[in-house]
Each structure stands twice: as C-alpha cells, then as structure tokens.
C-alpha cells in the first residue's frame, strides 16, 4: 500500500485523451470485501447513468444473472474504461463472472486493475502489467523537501542539519509516495 497504484490509475482515468477515447468510464473501489453482485451493480449503475435508453431501476435486483445480462446489453458496442481499484480476490470463478459480460465491448475497451496481490494479477491475466517499484532515496528526498520546505531544493549552506534529518526520514519511508 502507498506505492501510487491508485494515484497512477486516477491520472490515466482523468486524462483528456482518455476521456475522448472512450464512450464512458467507470471507477469502482473493490477492496478486500469482494462481492461480485455489488461490483456488477456498481458497474451497471454507472453504465446505465451514461446510457439514456437504458432501464432505470435494473440495478436494484440482487440476481447476478439479471445484472450481468443488463451490463452486457448496456455496454455492448461501446468503448468503455472500467477501473477496478484495490482488487484482492484471486478466485478465478468470481473474476470470470465479473468480466464475462464485458467481452462484447467495442474494440479498444479496457479494464484497469489496481492490486497489491501477485495472485490477482495471475488470475486476471491482464496485459500489460505495470509493477510500480519503490522510489529511489533521491526521489524520496526531493518529494519530502518539496512538501516540507516548499521548494525542490534545500539550501545546504543554511540547513545542513535539517537536510540530514530529512534525508534520514526520506529513507525510512521505504520509497512509498504515500508515506512521504
């Protein structure tokens, strides 16, 4: 956690070129409590909101089959971007139930997954995979000094002790942007 996965996905999701490329975009925070009905409902609710001709109250159903049929019907022939943020579930059957209605999306449709779990990556078989490495100590110091001092550089002649302490703190953050 704190490595910047969600932040990177948000930058992509909110980019103007991405906006122009897709007919609609949907962001769903999945988290540890994965419930295929809840996630499917969230996707369907957002898709229906973006589809004027769609039925208005379909997502109130708890019947997964009905939800999946409606999601497929309303996303078919449209180019979509779905972001499934913080996915933990590595059960292939749950994953297959979630994504099977999305197969008929227009070419260029995409699903972005953020996860901390290598097993989720293997189960979802998503390509390409972007693994975020921790930041270097120098990059950590740059971020910390910018936020703590309001500038990119510490005036070494005036703040030698402050810089030394700051660099130790930056190293202790372990390369995690959120910690910085």
The 10s digit of each residue's pLDDT in 12-47 is: 999 999 989 998 899 998 877 788 888 888 888 888
Whether pLDDT at 124 is above 70: yes
The answer for 19, left when phi > 0, alpha when psi is -120 to 50, beta otherwise, is: alpha
pLDDT of residue 22: 92
Q: How far apart are CA 149 and CA 38, in angstroms?
A: 44
The dihedral built from the CA positions of residue 73, 79, 81 and 87, taken in this order, carries a sign that is positive
The per-residue pLDDT for 27 is 93
Q: For a pLDDT cut of 90, what percent of the chain falls above it? A: 11
CB-based contact 114:87 (threshold 8 Å): yes
Six-digit token string for 20: 């122009």
> Higher pLDDT residue, 27 or 90?
27
Mean pLDDT of all residues in 128-154:
80
pLDDT, averaged across the chain: 82
Q: How far apart are CA 95 and CA 78, in angstroms?
A: 21
Higher pLDDT, 56 or 24: 24
- Token readout for 97 is 């139930």
| Separation CA 31–CA 89 (nearest Å) | 9
CA distances (Å), origin 143, targets 41, 69, 138, 149:
39, 47, 9, 10
Distance from C-alpha of 2 to C-alpha of 173, rounded to nearest angstrom: 10
What integer is the mean pLDDT of 56-84?
A: 82
Report the sign of the C-alpha dihedral through residues 60, 64, 69, 73, in that order.
positive
């Amino acid at each position: 956690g704190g490595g910047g996965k969600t932040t990177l996905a948000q930058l992509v999701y909110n980019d103007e070129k991405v906006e122009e490329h897709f007919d609609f975009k949907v962001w769903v925070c999945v988290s540890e409590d994965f419930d295929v009905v809840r996630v499917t409902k969230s996707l369907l609710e957002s898709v229906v909101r973006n589809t004027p001709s769609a039925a208005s109250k379909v997502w109130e159903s708890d019947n997964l089959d009905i939800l999946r049929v409606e999601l497929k019907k309303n996303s078919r022939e449209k180019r979509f971007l779905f972001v499934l943020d913080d996915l933990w579930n590595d059960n292939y059957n749950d994953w297959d139930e979630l994504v099977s209605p999305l197969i008929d999306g227009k070419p260029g449709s995409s699903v972005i997954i953020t996860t901390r779990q290598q097993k989720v990556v293997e189960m979802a078989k998503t390509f390409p995979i972007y693994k975020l490495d921790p930041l270097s100590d120098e990059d950590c110091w740059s971020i910390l000094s910018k936020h703590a001092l309001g500038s990119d550089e510490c005036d070494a002649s005036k703040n030698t002790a402050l810089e030394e302490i700051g660099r130790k703190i930056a190293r202790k953050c372990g390369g995690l942007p959120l910690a910085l």
